[in-house]
Amino acid sequence: MSANAENPLSYRGKKFVRTVGTLLISGCCLMVVLGVSVLKFWLANWPRFILYWSWCFLIAMLAMLVALFDMVMIRRAGRETQRKLYQQQFKR
């Protein structure tokens, strides 16, 4: 499961997952800043308001799911590393 020997808590696709998470968080932050400043009067219409903030909420939830996936994969890699170390030390 580990991607390299230098970092035992790594997994294949980690860079992609972290990049996607960063882009989602950045997009959500940008939407919040634009929604409360530049687009404030454009969002005065209720259907636009609901649609815009629903998309912002969905992007934030997707970012959380990506973060949870990353957490699970890091924990899995940690357990695997711990298991390998245990086998190296005690099951010779």
- Full-prediction pTM beyond 0.85? no
| Measured CA distances, 85 to 22, 50, 78, 89 (Å) | 32, 52, 10, 6
pLDDT grade for 4, boundaries at 50, 70 and 90 = low
Q: pLDDT for 10-33, tens place per residue?
A: 889 999 999 999 999 999 999 999
**Of residues 86 and 4, which shows the higher confidence score?**
86
Q: pLDDT for 64-81, tens place per residue?
A: 999 999 999 999 999 999
Q: pLDDT for 29-49, tens place per residue?
A: 999 999 999 999 999 999 999
